[in-house]
Amino acid sequence: MSVKGLLITLEGIDGSGKSTAAKHISSQLQRIMPERRLILTAEPTGGEAGKILRKRLSTPDGTGSSPSKRMEELFLFMADHADHLARLVGPSLEEGAIVISDRYADSTAAYQGVTLQGIVPDPVQWIRRVYAPWNMTPDLTLFFALDPAIALKRMLSRREKEKFEQLEFLRSVNENFRQLASLEPGRFVLIDASRDAQDVAAQAMKRILKRVQSSW
């Protein structure tokens, strides 16, 4: 019998601590289940579209704010997601791996759901509809819930700043994540990201282990 692959995604606003948690989670999981293939991945990826995105996100004027530039950005995120599915997520799940992705399609719905306001009608739903026919739905999505003001404070102590780090923007993104979570309560699980890093990782591990065990 082949082992069923499992797709777990980590979502939340910038500064919510999911990337730190991802590292803790993957090393703990690998220790607990040394026989299980584990893939830790992220979006934007290191693929072609992902590289363009990362370059833009790190240069202050790299992305214009005109409607066409914002649409271009949306389609770059979507192209990167399609590439991620074809190159890594799909094949890894086929092999029975546990795939943990630090951001996934929900980030596009939440973030571009803000940047496309006034450009397409109801952008969160619009983006979800574009993804629906071809996306691979995660088995579990951990939403790292944190007050945007606290997230911003955490980030301001970091050196690198990206264009998405303003409070109003993060508030809107956070609202979109909450909307997405309420649309699919069976897939989303809330993690209290206001706690310290160890506690956050422990909450995430508990949920993941529960999901892994129920898939056996």
Please report how close the Cβ of residue 30 comes to ligand TYD at its closest, in angstroms: 21
57 binds ligand TYD (CB under 6 A): yes
Which residue of 131, 164, 171, 205 would you call a contact of ligand TYD, by CB under 6 A? 164
Report the phi/psi class of residue 17: left, alpha or beta, with left for phi > 0 and alpha for psi in -120 to 50: left
Which residue of 9, 16, 107, 172 would you call a contact of ligand TYD, by CB under 6 A? 107
Structure tokens at 55: 């370059």
108 binds ligand TYD (CB under 6 A): yes
CA 93/CA 172 separation, integer angstroms: 33
11 binds ligand TYD (CB under 6 A): no
126 binds ligand TYD (CB under 6 A): no
176 binds ligand TYD (CB under 6 A): no
103 binds ligand TYD (CB under 6 A): yes
Which residue of 20, 162, 190, 195 would you call a contact of ligand TYD, by CB under 6 A? 162
43 binds ligand TYD (CB under 6 A): yes
Using the minimum distance from each CB to ligand TYD, give the nearer residue, 126 or 164: 164
Using the minimum distance from each CB to ligand TYD, give the nearer residue, 41 or 92: 41
DSSP structure string for the chain:
-PPPPEEEEEE--TTSSHHHHHHHHHHHHHHH-TTS-EEEEESS-SSHHHHHHHHHHHSTTSS--SHHHHHHHHHHHHHHHHHHIIIIIHHHHHTT-EEEEES-HHHHHHHHHHHTBTTBSSHHHHHHHHHTTT----SEEEEEE--HHHHHHHHHTSS---TT--HHHHHHHHHHHHHHHHH-TTTEEEEETTS-HHHHHHHHHHHHHHHHHHT-
Q: Which residue is nearest to ligand TYD (CB)?
A: 111
Using the minimum distance from each CB to ligand TYD, give the nearer residue, 92 or 108: 108
Tell the burial category of 25 from Cβ atoms under 10 Å away from its Cβ (0-12, 13-18, 19+).
Answer: buried
| Stretch of 1-9, 92-100, 105-113, 194-202 lying at the interface with ligand TYD (CB under 6 A) | 105-113
136 binds ligand TYD (CB under 6 A): no
Which residue of 77, 169, 177, 188 would you call a contact of ligand TYD, by CB under 6 A? 77
By CB under 6 A, name the binding residues for ligand TYD.
14, 19, 43-44, 57, 77, 102-103, 107-108, 111-112, 162, 164
